[in-house]
Chain A
């Protein structure tokens, strides 16, 4: 996982498998950074994610709550088709006004 910050925008390049087991560590790393930087925009890039179950949705929902708590915005980008399927089940793109762009695997 790589994190790049430019101005008030922080981009997290997620990679590998996101399940309940791995989500805990990912969450901790992201939150430590966002608590420090309070980014205006937090971008979660899913292009290198090889597996995701509903723990990925929980991860996005939790980060959305965190950034919006200090007035920030969340963007979810480069979601592979099959990730998008799960993400859509949560209705997240409606509730959270999350910008989702589909990508190819």
Chain B
């Protein structure tokens, strides 16, 4: 399946960029004429993925976050958020709801939220090399929501 449109960008893993990243992602997804709820789902899931890069992948400094997204004729919005950070030793454990390696103010819900707010979530990680998170969301859009 060929995308009808795509974009990619690289940004610094600075927390100020969390808002920017979800704004760009939702702006791009807006081309599929989504409902307010669908846009909110995308913003939330992207925010979680980007926060993970900032908090976990590059805990001691600033690294690159690579974001690429595409939209397809069938309403699929696909976004990949990748880093070259520390990677995840145990992806299964990291994805458990309420588990956080950091504790404290982190709820440990990042992956659970991504999973619940999107149609598909896939996580690939190599310790020492980085992590790649792909989110799929089918936009039914305003036309079908009525």
Contact surface of A with B, Cβ cutoff 8 Å: 17, 19-21, 23-24, 27, 51-55, 57-59, 61-62, 82, 85-86, 89-91
Interface SS, B side: helix
Residue in B22, B107, B113 whose Cβ sees the most chain A Cβ within 10 Å: B107
CB distance from B117 to the nearest CB of A (A): 8
A20 touches B15 (CB 8 A): yes
Residues on B with C-beta less than 8 A from A19 are 15, 18-19, 47, 51
A52 neighbours in B (Cβ, 8 Å): 44
Which stretch from B4-12, B57-65, B97-105, B121-129 is at the chain A interface?
A: B97-105
Contact call B15/A51, Cβ cutoff below 8 A: no
**A21 x B107 contact (CB < 8 A):** no
Taken together as a complex, chains A and B put the C-alpha atoms of A89 and B116 apart, in Å, by 9
Residue from the list A23, A53, A91 in contact with B105, Cβ < 8 A: A23
- B116–A58 CB distance below 8 A: no
Contact partners of A59 in chain B: CB under 8 A:
105
Taking a contact as CB atoms closer than 8 A, the residue among B51, B112, B113 that contacts A20 in the complex is B51
B37-65 interface with A by 8 A CB criterion: 37, 40, 43-44, 47-48, 51, 54-55
Task: Check if A21 sits within 8 Å of B15, measured CB to CB.
Answer: yes
Does the CB pair A61–B107 fall under 8 Å?
yes
B15 / chain A contacts, CB cutoff of 8 Å: 19-21, 24
Jot down 11 A-B pairs with beta carbons below 8 A, ordered by A. Answer: A19-B18, A21-B16, A27-B105, A52-B44, A53-B44, A54-B110, A55-B107, A58-B107, A61-B107, A62-B105, A86-B109
